[in-house]
Chains A and B, each alone.
Chain A
Amino acid sequence: MFSFFNRNKKSKDLAKSRLKLVLTQDRLNCSTEMLEMMKNDILKVIAQYVDFDESEMDIQIAQSFSERDGKPVLTANIPVKALRKVAR
């Protein structure tokens, strides 16, 4: 009988999970447009040091929170083929 009641998720848990989601976006205050611009700029810089096949290049910027202090974190995954010899 009690399992029947437990199946209904408590409304405060719903509130909490919705808050966490909305605050992730709020704290970053970072639009998808801006993320795209960031991605392009990062590519430009990386191209000076690293060999990469642009068709295979896939930068993903993930938004999350630091486990230590709860502050937002941007993470970019950049697959690298080979380091370019910097002759400058």
Chain B
Amino acid sequence: MGEVLVITSGKGGVGKTTTSANLGVGLAMKGKKVVLVDADIGLRNLDVVMGLENRIVYDLVDVVEGHCRLKQALIRDKRFPELFLLPAAQTRDKTAVNPEQMKKLTDSMKEEFDFVLVDCPAGIEQGFKNAISGADRAVVVTTPEVSAVRDADRIIGLLEAAEIKSTKLILNRIRADMVKRGDMMNLDDVTDILAIEVLGVVPDDESIVIATNKGEPAITNPISKAGQAFNNITERILGNDVPLMNYLGDKGFFAKLKSYFGLS
């Protein structure tokens, strides 16, 4: 029996889909059987972030409406041992599915998979209600900005009201230079306000844009800082105790050497 994990945020554009893709790949790389579910009906994107957009035949709405079997709609990602994607419908809207149908769907998938990761749409309306309906755990993604943190707080309240047993935070796109200058809230500032357990911190990283351009999640790139952060988060999801990444960036070997000789 697997687990249903919903990745949500309230505000759009904070990195839900990128997080979903990276955690899905991360868990699959660790030998778990994973299905990624794009719950953003009408605005599907997880398929392009994963680089699987050319292989879609059926979608989530087709499954729910009985036009095809679940197996026919699942796209197998051949790069990883056991990773599947259930794409959202693009030509329908959020009202095409209701929370009961979504719960039934994720319940049936967790019989077969270790992890069912649901990429939630932005907002708090029907799409959000659909996405969280079958969730065992929730991951709230935010960035260190006033608007994103405010929305995250609202979402945390709604998840609490929906009695989801565990909700944890990912602070995404943090910039060490701005934090050091005092122009960006750091992790402590954000947790001070949100009072929620932290699942991880992900630095702002160009490699994410490059990875998305290619349709290959950054976690597969061993030199990507954001990829390493997602890898640590994957470990924590599996219950392993990994220390938080020093997102402020320790001095590297050469910087240390230079400062030793008084060059910087």
Which residues of A does B touch, CB under 8 Å?
Answer: 10-13, 15-16, 18-20, 22-23, 26-27, 69-70
In the complex, A14 Cα to B99 Cα: how many Å?
39
List residues of chain A with CB within 8 A of the CB of B145.
15
In the complex, A70 Cα to B160 Cα: how many Å?
14
In the complex, A69 Cα to B160 Cα: how many Å?
14
Smallest Cβ distance from A34 to chain B, in angstroms?
18
| Interface residues of B, count at CB 8 A | 19
Question: Is B189's CB under 8 angstroms from A12's CB?
Answer: yes
List residues of chain A with CB within 8 A of the CB of B250.
none
List residues of chain A with CB within 8 A of the CB of B1.
none
For the complex, is B157 an interface residue (Cβ under 8 Å from A)? Answer: yes
Interface SS, B side: helix
Interface SS, A side: helix
Q: Which residue of B lies closest to A14 (CB)?
A: B146
List residues of chain B with CB within 8 A of the CB of A26.
150, 153-154
List residues of chain B with CB within 8 A of the CB of A27.
153, 157
Question: Is B153's CB under 8 angstroms from A16's CB?
Answer: no
Interface centre among A19, A23, A69 (most CB of B within 10 A): A19
Annotate B167-203 by CB proximity to A: 1 below 8 A, 0 otherwise.
0000000000001011111100100110100000000
